[in-house]
Amino acid sequence: MFELTVILKQPKQKSRIGAAKGRDSMASALAGLVPLSFLLLLVGCASRPLYPLPGKRYDASKKPLQTFRPYNLAHRGSNGEFPEETAAAYMRAIEEGADFIEGDVLASKDGVLIMQHDVTLDDTTDIAEHKEFANRKRTCNVQGTNTTGFFHFDFTLEELKSLGVKQRYPFRDQQYNGKFPIITFKEFISIALDAPRVVGIYPEIKNPAMVNQYVKWPGGKKFEDKFVETLHKYGYRGEYMSKQWLKQPAFIQSFAPTSLIYVSNLTDLPKVFLIDDITIPTQDTNQSYWEVTSDKYLNFIKNYVMGIGPWKDTIVYVSENYLQPPTDLVARAHALNLQVHPYTYRNENQFLHFNFSQDPYKEYDYWINTIGVDGLFTDFTGSLHQYQEWTTPSPSGEKSATKLLDKIGSMISKYRNPQT
């Protein structure tokens, strides 16, 4: 490309210096140069760039997804440290070692898929400070409850982008409030693809009944169609653990079984069936917790999903902030070859049952070693990663061997130098 500019610059200089004298001869020379430059332009654009962008790097050079220990699922990114579902939260999660970055997909008024958990913008954005939107407040029925607020489907993408995301919990770091915008599903995917190692995505088809009710797409397409289209556009495909899947790992999750069954006709990517609290029926089929966790139902749904994502307190009940004996949900799921990815793990002691002595690592230990889950949704990617690296480190051949030698060396040296 730069050769072209050099060629273009030279005639200009010449014409400035010998403007009066050489203008005629210069014109004919230029005429000859034009087809040549077009040819070079064509060649230049067709050739592969010498330094590929990170997102287009040849996959074989990227460190692959680990598959030997339970998955570290960055729930809404590293939202223990950054406002949820922002680019910063996702990039931090990747930095901290996440296997998958997780997010909830909803849609804007103009049908753009966005990363946002709540159907209302009140708790996680500065919408209240935007007087220009004050009249957009309304009341809608959300899964049987009347909810008042600013709904995502009442705002175009441009309007949503004018908002600033804030940290949901007051006891977490507030310093980034208002600094980051809502991102789109495409931006979320780009962050994953651009990572220096293979990082999977774990998007949720969120509140599909409500989204399809309020947002319409051309050509009769539904929310689920646009969702899968986006994944296809970025090359996500393949069954669980297939070669293609391992290059760009993805799980599709949803609380709505009909949506999962619907997309199973569109993509063979692995799907996970999310299960809410025992008091909440499914939003699309109005089935109770007991029905969707029965052997009969699991036997049925296993043809469409490869795992379930239950709320952890339904796997092991809690009484007076103490764990009760575990239910058989994990055992039964595993018997049907269904993975279990419970949600959600949080470091703060208010979320930790007393068995864990206010220690989040004790909770990880219980779920991974005592219950035996296959993945964990956590708000604190770094803590789970640290726990896993300390207790079941990634083996890496030569690196591991030298690490072992270092370890032995330090063990011996400590004996030689006791504290004086």
Q: Which residues are at the interface with another protein (CB under 8 A)?
A: 67-69, 80-81, 171-173, 175, 320-321, 347-350, 354, 357-362, 380, 382-383, 386, 390-392, 395, 400, 404, 411, 414-415, 417-420
Amino acid at site 23: R
Is residue 381 packed enough to be buried (19+ CB in 10 Å), middle (13-18) or exposed (0-12)?
Answer: buried
Closer residue to another protein, CB minimum distance, 132 or 320: 320
Residue 138 phi, psi dihedral angles, 5° rounding: -150, 175
Residue 395 phi, psi dihedral angles, 5° rounding: -75, 140
Cβ at position 309, least distance to another protein in Å: 20
Closer residue to another protein, CB minimum distance, 67 or 370: 67
Cis status, amide bond into 344, omega within 30 of 0 = yes
Residue 106 phi, psi dihedral angles, 5° rounding: -125, -165
Give the up-direction half-sphere exposure of residue 199: CA atoms within 13 A in the CB hemisphere. Answer: 28
Closer residue to another protein, CB minimum distance, 152 or 172: 172
Cβ at position 78, least distance to another protein in Å: 8
Region at 343 (left for phi over 0; alpha for psi -120 to 50; beta for the rest) = beta
Amino acid at site 126: D
Task: Determine the angle formed by the axes of helices 257-264 and 223-233, rounding to 10 degrees.
Answer: 50
Cβ at position 173, least distance to another protein in Å: 5
Cβ at position 143, least distance to another protein in Å: 30
Closer residue to another protein, CB minimum distance, 58 or 390: 390
Pairwise CA distance, residues 109 & 98, whole Å: 32
Pairwise CA distance, residues 114 & 125, whole Å: 14
Closer residue to another protein, CB minimum distance, 2 or 415: 415
Cβ at position 391, least distance to another protein in Å: 7
Cβ at position 311, least distance to another protein in Å: 21
Closer residue to another protein, CB minimum distance, 154 or 379: 379
